[in-house]
A = this chain, B = another copy of it.
Amino acid sequence: MDVESKATNTVWHCSQVTREKRGALLDQRGCTIWLTGLPSSGKSTTAFALECHLIKLGFLAYVLDGDNVRHGLNKDLGFSAREREENIRRVAEVAKLFADAGLIVITSFISPYRKERDFARRIHMDAGLDFAEIFVDTPLTVCETRDPKGHYAKARRGELKGFTGIDDPYEPPLSPELVIDTAQYSPEAIVEQIIDFLVSEGQLPLSVRLLTQSVGRAR
């Protein structure tokens, strides 16, 4: 192919890609939805239900969680206090890149310490990017009853050390953008609550309120 002659015929000027241009392309504003809560509180269920519903509505969302981060980017990290902190630091930085790219990125990590969540918020703010901390406030007793991997039981028996909620502290958010309770509400109800929040904050267009009752979004 004669690329040079093709280019000569093409009139286009490209300057920097602004966030507005990305936003217009996707009809959404990139942001980070930071889920935090105890083990088995329902973060992953919420994250994937939200991602799936957003994609179904025609918006671009992506979940960062232990599965895709711990086995790749952070597989050099163990579970010491320092390494857990570095794990969250990198997740925050990657989330920021995704939000900058225009996606609604949903992070699903216990992230028990205020300090690390505040760091995530700060780097987003500094870059002019939206960040919402969502506290998955499921009571410890409920989380412990779920315990799909038997971790709580092990931690209670002292076989698992440093387990958040048992012998390692969970610091609840002081002023999260949203608080959800998976013991009281279904994943669907929670997703609607978060989508309503995203509309009210301007990440999603107002028209979504009509569409959340139907199966998909016309494009």
Contacts and interface: CB of A to CB of B under 8 A. Distances in A.
Interface residues of A, number: 58
A60 B102 contact: yes
A93 B7 CA distance: 34
Q: How many copies does the complex hold?
A: 2
A48 B76 CA distance: 31
Given A68-B97, A94-B94, A97-B73, A53 B3 contact: no
Nearest to A11: B215
B101 A12 contact: no
Nearest to A75: B93
Given A16-B48, A73-B93, A94-B97, 12 more contacts: A3-B185, A7-B186, A7-B192, A9-B213, A10-B188, A12-B56, A12-B215, A15-B52, A73-B94, A76-B86, A98-B98, A103-B103
